[in-house]
C-alpha cells in the first residue's frame, strides 16, 4: 500500500499550485487558473477548509481540500446529512497520471475524514471521466446530476 502525506498548503506552495492550474490535463475542469488561485488565496487560513498538498515520498504532486458542507451551503449538497464533508481535488503533476495515485490518495484521505464525518461528497463535471473513475475506485457512487452553485451541471457523488 502506498502511503501519501497530506500537508497544509502554504504561501511557499503558491508557485507550484499556479503551475499545476495551467497544466493541459486540468484545463476545463477547474475555473481559469487566476480565479482558482484567488479562491485558494482568499480562503487561506480559513479553519473551515482543509487545503492540502499531497506528497509521495516527499514529492508534491496533487491538491485536495475538504470542508463542512454546512459552512458553505451549495444547492448540489442540500440533501446530505449534517456534518458531511465535501472534497475537491486534482492531480497536479501529469507524470503521476494513470498510475492509480488519484484513487489512492483520495481513499487514504477518505479514511481520515470518515472518523469525523457521516458522509463525504464531491461534485465533478459529469464529462470529467478521469475524475469520476478515480472517485469510483475510491468508493464513491454516483448520486445525482444537478446544477451546482455556479449554474453548471455537476455529478454529485457520495461516499457512504
Give the CATH number for residue 62: 3.40.630.30
pLDDT digits (tens, 9 = 90+) for 69-115: 998 888 999 999 999 999 999 998 888 888 889 999 999 999 999 88
For the chain, the domain total comes to: 1
pLDDT for 152: 84
pLDDT for 34: 66
Model confidence at 56: pLDDT above 90? yes
Residues 6+ apart with CB under 8 A from 145: 126, 153, 154, 155, 156
Secondary structure letter of residue 72 according to DSSP: S
Pairing of strands 120-122, 85-91: parallel
| pTM of structure | 0.86
pLDDT for 31: 59
Residue 89: name the closest of 104, 78, 77 by CA.
Answer: 104
Instruction: For residues 123-138, give the mean pLDDT.
Output: 92
Q: Residue 40 — φ and ψ, nearest 5°?
A: -65, -45
SS3 assignment, position 6: strand
Q: Which domain holds residue 31?
A: 5-159
Amino acid at each position: 500500500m502506498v502511503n501519501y502525506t497530506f500537508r497544509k498548503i502554504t504561501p511557499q506552495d503558491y508557485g507550484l499550485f499556479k503551475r499545476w492550474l495551467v497544466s493541459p490535463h486540468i484545463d476545463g475542469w477547474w475555473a481559469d487558473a487566476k480565479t482558482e488561485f484567488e479562491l485558494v488565496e482568499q480562503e487561506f487560513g480559513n479553519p473551515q477548509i482543509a487545503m492540502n498538498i499531497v506528497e509521495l515520498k516527499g514529492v508534491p504532486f496533487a491538491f485536495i481540500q475538504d470542508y463542512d458542507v454546512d459552512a458553505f451551503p451549495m444547492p448540489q449538497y442540500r440533501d446530505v446529512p449534517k456534518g458531511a464533508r465535501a472534497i475537491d481535488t486534482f492531480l497536479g503533476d501529469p507524470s503521476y497520471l494513470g498510475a492509480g495515485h488519484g484513487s489512492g490518495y483520495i481513499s487514504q484521505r477518505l479514511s481520515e475524514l470518515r472518523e469525523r464525518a457521516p458522509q463525504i461528497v464531491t461534485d465533478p463535471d459529469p464529462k470529467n471521466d478521469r475524475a469520476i473513475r478515480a472517485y469510483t475506485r475510491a468508493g464513491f457512487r454516483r448520486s445525482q446530476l444537478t446544477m451546482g452553485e455556479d449554474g453548471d451541471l455537476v455529478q454529485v457523488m457520495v461516499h457512504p
